[in-house]
A = this chain, B = another copy of it.
């Protein structure tokens, strides 16, 4: 069964630069799947709080890794989870037209604490695979005690928007008007710079193949 396209609700409709809004659910999935960090917004004592958190998507649900500690998200409250990938920096001819090429996803919903053990385990597996793909098979699954110390939060992807900017600076018409100053785009990439073996291990411990395979397609 295929989920429906992203039909914006009144409050998830993009207001600025409407031409940048996308309605393809595959684009939402791609942005969420590529990002290594999400920003979780909550309302605490009437004021906004935004904290970075790891995330993973399974189907049409976004999972976040919580804690059972005090002050943490425990589910059953409105949240907004936002993920942003910066693809490039837009160098323009005017201060006003500077920008970034980016893909962002904004997910609004009601957080739900995952209580089903099978769903929690699947979500934790996905969270490990998001940070360290392949390590979910290489590393030890949680003990019962670890499971009890962990809370997994789910947010359904019912109300989400995706915004994408691509392409050159928006002030290219200045050239025809005689402005020959350089302008363009600096494309960015995030890549693996170094793999360091844990110092508790012998230095010659072989690095498993799934680690360097991570490649250069990363975005932060």
Interfacial residues, chain A to chain B (CB-CB below 8 A):
11, 15-16, 36-37, 39-52, 54, 67, 69-72, 78-82, 84-86, 89-96, 98-100, 102, 104, 106, 108, 124-125, 127-128, 131-132, 135-136, 138-143, 146, 149-150, 168-169, 172-176, 180-201, 205-208, 211, 214, 218-220
| Cross-chain contact B200 with A168 (CB below 8 angstroms) | yes
* Nearest-Cβ distance from residue A159 to partner chain B, whole angstroms: 11
- Given A183-B198, A192-B187, A198-B184, do A48 and B79 touch, yes or no (CB 8 Å)? yes
- Given A141-B95, A184-B197, A187-B192, do A86 and B220 touch, yes or no (CB 8 Å)? yes
What is the predominant secondary structure among interface residues of chain A facing chain B?
mixed
Identify A182's interface contact among B44, B186, B206, CB under 8 A. Answer: B206
Q: In the docked arrangement, what's the CA distance between A191 and B169, Å?
A: 20
Q: In the docked arrangement, what's the CA distance between A12 and B138, Å?
A: 37
Give this chain's copy count. 2
* Nearest-Cβ distance from residue A134 to partner chain B, whole angstroms: 9
| Cross-chain contact B200 with A175 (CB below 8 angstroms) | yes
- Given A86-B37, A182-B207, A218-B188, do A51 and B106 touch, yes or no (CB 8 Å)? yes
Residue of chain B at shortest CB distance from A173: B200
| Cross-chain contact B82 with A51 (CB below 8 angstroms) | yes
- Given A36-B86, A132-B91, A208-B182, do A198 and B214 touch, yes or no (CB 8 Å)? no
| Cross-chain contact A89 with B207 (CB below 8 angstroms) | no
| Cross-chain contact A186 with B206 (CB below 8 angstroms) | no
Can you list the 9 inter-chain pairs with the closest CB atoms, starting with the nearest?
Answer: A172-B200, A41-B48, A41-B50, A39-B39, A189-B193, A52-B84, A50-B82, A175-B200, A187-B194
| Cross-chain contact A201 with B220 (CB below 8 angstroms) | no
Name the B residues within 8 Å of A72 (CB-CB): 15-16
